[in-house]
Amino acid sequence: MGKDLSEMTLEELWELFPIILREHNPEYKEWYLKEKENIEKTVGLNKIERINHIGSSAIEGLIAKPTVDILLEVGCNSDIDNLKLRLENAGWTLMAFEKKPDLKMSFNKGYTSNGFAEKVFHLHVRFLGDWDELYFRDYLMIHEEVAKKYGELKQKLKKQYEHNRDGYTEAKTEFIKKWTKQARKEFPNRYLP
């Protein structure tokens, strides 16, 4: 029997869960909608301010990791410990938890000791806010040429960072910040609460 994920080093985890890029899967939208429904039942609709499909799997035609990213926004008076417990009891694994300066909880589902499950999800929990991920997603949805450049960048970086998720994410940062800044000019205050 292999090690439990919690017993593995970062390097072992990166080896087990390499960067994989695939052509866009039209089923990502259905995966998101089903998981959104599960989250609403788990958390309670009255406790959710906003929920969105974010990341590359939300962009039709964009090459992506076969992972559905979800941004769950809750009110600033939410019982965070209860929310965390509810999500963990529903099968989400807490990966990161930060309360200050802003709430940032990251959960995942679909990571097993044998590698990725058929469906993989990342859940980002934050207080309701004007988040960059929403602007970047929207920009890529309507600017196909920028989405194409982003896909090309990801393919290039995959070769270099296949077993280094942090390096892969960091290497995309400059591109993402550049186009998020442009998106905020194009859609000013679109997600301002």
* Each residue's pLDDT tens digit, 102-155: 899 999 999 998 899 999 999 999 999 999 999 999 999 999 999 999 999 999
- Report the domain count for the chain: 1
CATH at residue 15: 3.30.460.10
Is there a domain that residue 165 lies in? yes
Is there a domain that residue 160 lies in? yes
Is there a domain that residue 192 lies in? no
Is there a domain that residue 126 lies in? yes
Is there a domain that residue 26 lies in? yes
CA proximity to 69, closest of 81, 55, 59, 79: 55
pLDDT, tens only, 25-66: 999 999 999 999 999 999 999 999 999 999 999 999 999 999
C-alpha span between 125 and 128 (Å, rounded): 9
pLDDT score, position 100 = 83
- 18 upstream amide cis, omega within 30 of 0: no
Is there a domain that residue 93 lies in? yes
Is there a domain that residue 193 lies in? no
This prediction's pTM: 0.94
Residues contacting 39, CB < 8 A, separation 6+? 48, 51, 70, 72, 87, 90, 123
Please write down the HEC assignment for all residues of 85-125. HHHHHCCCEEEEEECCCCCEEEEEEEEECCEEEEEEEEEEE
Residues contacting 13, CB < 8 A, separation 6+? 5
Is there a domain that residue 60 lies in? yes
Q: Which domain holds residue 29?
A: 5-186
